[in-house]
Amino acid sequence: MSASEFSIDKQYNTNRSSPASWIAAHIKRQWLPFIGIFIGAVANAMLAAVVPLMIGMAFNAIVLNDTPDYDTVWWAAGGVLASQFLRALLQFLRNYSAEVVGQRLERDTRDEFYGELVGKSMTFHDLHPVGDTMARATNDVREINLLSNPGLNLVIGSFMFLIMPIIFSLRIHPQLALLPAAFTVLYLIALARYLQMLNPVAERARTAFGNLNARLAEAIDGIEIVKGTAQEKAEMALFKKNATEYRDAVVAQSFIEARYIPLLMFGIANAIGFWHVTTLFEQGTVAIGAIPDYMILLQLFGFPVFVSLFAYSQVALGLAGAKRILELMNKKTELDQNTAGHDAEIAGAITFDNVSFGYVPEVSVLNGINLQVEPGETVAIVGQTGTGKTTLVKLVNRIYDVSQGNVLVDGVNVRDWNMASLRQQVSIIEQDIFLFSRSIADNIAFGNANATPEMIRDAAKKAQAHDFISGFKDGYETVIGERGVTLSGGQRQRIALARAFLIKPRILILDDSTSAIDSATEDQIQRAIREASQGQTTLLITHRLSQIRWADKIVVLRHGQIVAAGTHESLIETSDAYRRIFQRIEEA
């Protein structure tokens, strides 16, 4: 069992056992700029700690001497200036490296995720709302970028600011290192508790955003139905409900952030530190310059305290986003591309051997289907709506996989075929045509990257599409709207037929694909299909008498089972079910 139906040229060997390990695997590939983050973070904290050292030195040079030692003061001032100039350069290195890691992390995780989505089976995509998938592919991936920068960038930098006060306090007096050490331990404990509370709320916020996006995408995609049934107010109410759930999740996250304990700890640490260092000064243990020196050192804790309030929230959101992405990437499917499988030119024989299928295990759509289709034969599949006609033909190229029984192409089980080889030789044209928001030429050539303009025009002429395409200002370079909304139903179907003619499949499946075409055009297309299908196996799902009579064999489906099969003449005489269908078609 594999995670994907197709593995799309996998570029990344990542550990998907957890969000953290998956992100770490991608960060590992960016080890050089990540080293830049560490160098910049260490240098930033060290050079920040140099400032109180220089100030304390200058303070002592003025206060402790009868005559102020201005040379020492100037030397200290120069030290501050030089150290901070170097700090600025290394800060640039750190921030630039973090941005490089973040952008590459977003690019690589999006590439890997998209490859998995394209490779998933139709069953997977049928069960997942497009809007939620898009939210994961865009917003959640973006959160992974922000996890790196500013998230991890600030986390690493703030951690260094916890260490430096401990180290530099030892230089003043060993006792003064106790408070920074104790603060660091308590800070890490409080931080762990904070993250424990924050992570589930961050996940809730990302999930709520996904639900909001999914419903919005559905409403926009079905806007014609919304307006046609005057459901604008109902949709607005539902959107408001989903938006409220997202708002509540974000507010809950903010409430946790507002109770951030390290902020209080920081104030208490400053008070205790001031008392301690002044006590040591009164005892004559440290010089007066130790007071500003030590207090400025304690101020370094302010960076991790204040920054972590935002940085760790960003890390939590990034991990929540990674978890949502991995949920889809790790979804299993029984279908496998079977790269080592049977790979040959299809002759066109199709066998359904006691086939049963259901989209969910509890409900069967097809039951005990037995059917033999000979190479080059044209078979019409008829039946009432909901009898499983479309489902049956989609088992041929494993858009769906059988629950029981076997489907064979040229005597070879479709499970044993190399899936890419099988699907490249089987073309399905459905009533609900999908066209991309690209040029007409690109849509016709989809599936045949080597198609020349002459080949595209020839296919369009066979599909009776050349004339209306030539009537557009830009001809074949006309860019059509998403899903082909700028074309009529008949125009979309003819472009889809042209696409099929160009591919020249060995098995052609027409699922009511001329329903939106007038009779005169249909006759022309039908003649073109007959010419193109010489030696090609054709499966027809249709309600048009002309196409039904054209078929070599007619199969009647009822309640997911074959109840009759034969020629038009024989079925008229022997099958009540076919006669009823035929009568309804004539009346229509």
Strand partners, 372: 351
Q: Which residue has the tokens 């002309």?
A: 546
- Domain 350-587 part of CATH 3.10.129.10: no
Distance CA 182, CA 311 (A): 22
Contact of 302 with 181, CB cutoff 8 Å:
no
Q: Which two tokens stand for residue 219?
A: 């409403």
Sign of CA dihedral 274, 280, 284, 287: negative
Query: CB-side exposure of 391: number of CA atoms within 13 Å?
Result: 23
Distance CA 50, CA 260 (A): 29
Return per-residue pLDDT of the chain as tens, 588 residues: 445 555 455 567 888 889 999 999 999 999 999 999 999 999 999 999 899 888 888 888 888 777 788 888 899 899 999 999 999 999 999 999 999 999 999 999 998 888 888 877 776 776 677 778 888 888 889 999 999 889 889 888 888 999 999 999 998 999 999 999 999 999 999 888 888 888 888 888 888 888 887 788 778 877 777 777 788 888 888 889 989 999 999 898 888 878 888 888 999 999 999 999 999 999 999 988 889 999 999 999 998 988 887 888 888 889 888 998 998 888 776 666 777 889 999 999 999 999 999 887 778 899 999 999 999 898 999 888 888 998 999 999 888 888 899 999 999 999 899 888 898 888 888 777 778 888 999 999 987 878 899 999 998 988 888 999 999 999 999 988 766 667 877 788 888 888 888 888 899 888 876 665 666 666 666 766 666 666 789 998 887 777 787 788 999 998 899 999 998 888 888 888 888 877 776 555
The CATH 3.40.50.300 domain(s) of the chain lie at 350-587
Q: Which fold has domain 19-329?
A: ABC transporter transmembrane region fold (1.20.1560)
The CATH 1.20.1560.10 domain(s) of the chain lie at 19-329
Q: Which two tokens stand for residue 268?
A: 């208490």
- The amino acid present at 511, given as its one-letter code, is D
Distance CA 219, CA 243 (A): 14
290-299 and 262-282 helices cross at what angle (nearest 10)? 170
H/E stretch holding 468 reads helix 466-470
Residue (of 401, 311, 309, 303) closest to 359 by Cα position: 401
CB atoms within 10 A of CB 489: 14
Q: Which residue has the tokens 């404990």?
A: 189
Interacting residues of 3 by C-beta distance below 8 A, sequence separation 6+: 116, 329, 330, 331, 332, 333
Contact of 535 with 455, CB cutoff 8 Å:
no
Distance CA 279, CA 427 (A): 87
Q: What is the DSSP letter of 360?
A: B
Distance CA 268, CA 262 (A): 10
